[in-house]
Amino acid sequence: QQQVKQSPQSLIVQKGGISIINCAYENTAFDYFPWYQQFPGKGPALLIAIRPDVSEKKEGRFTISFNKSAKQFSLHIMDSQPGDSATYFCAAKGRGGYQKVTFGTGTKLQVIP
């Protein structure tokens, strides 16, 4: 019940295109859904996060879409750039303290010029 399923495992997008990564969860107790970006040799860094009372959140070229009834959320990267090439993880965390963060398996994005 704690699992977060992420797809695709890898993604190749041309510069200027839209990158879309999808995640699905089962546990309805999750109430915080962050996305992390990880470059080789670095730890993950928070990119953008959403709570289930909002259906969409946009920060620059990055947008999270959230479908509470379907228990799915996705990351859209508009106008993808070679500098966006990284591994992206979706995650979910339950409400309240003492709740661990459950991560998806990651999507390796490559943006080609």
Partner 1 sequence: KAGVTQTPRYLIKTRGQQVTLSCSPISGHRSVSWYQQTPGQGLQFLFEYFSETQRNKGNFPGRFSGRQFSNSRSEMNVSTLELGDSALYLCASSLGQGSLNEQFFGPGTRLTVL
- Cα 44 from chain centroid (whole Å): 12
Determine the interface stretch with partner 1 among 16-24, 58-66, 67-75, 104-112 (rule: CB under 8 A).
104-112
CB of 32 to partner 1, least distance (A): 4
Answer yes or no whether residue 62 interacts with partner 1 by CB under 8 A: no
Determine the interface stretch with partner 1 among 16-24, 54-62, 64-72, 91-99 (rule: CB under 8 A).
91-99
Report how far apart, in Å, the C-alpha atoms of 28 and of each of 4, 22, 48, 70 are. Answer: 12, 17, 20, 11
Among 8, 10, 28, 45, binds partner 1 (CB under 8 A): 45
Answer yes or no whether residue 95 interacts with partner 1 by CB under 8 A: yes
Number of C-alpha atoms within 13 angstroms, CB side, residue 5?
7
Smaller CB separation from partner 1, 17 or 85 = 85
Contacts of 19 (CB under 8 A, 6+ apart): 11, 13, 75, 76, 77, 80, 84, 109, 111
Answer yes or no whether residue 22 interacts with partner 1 by CB under 8 A: no
Are 95 and 33 a contacting pair, CB within 8 Å? no
Length of the chain equals 113
Determine the interface stretch with partner 1 among 19-27, 57-65, 68-76, 102-110 (rule: CB under 8 A).
102-110
Measured between alpha carbons, how far is 24 from 51 in angstroms, rounded to an integer?
14
* Positions in the binding site for partner 1 (CB under 8 A): 31-32, 34, 36, 41-46, 49, 51, 89, 93-106
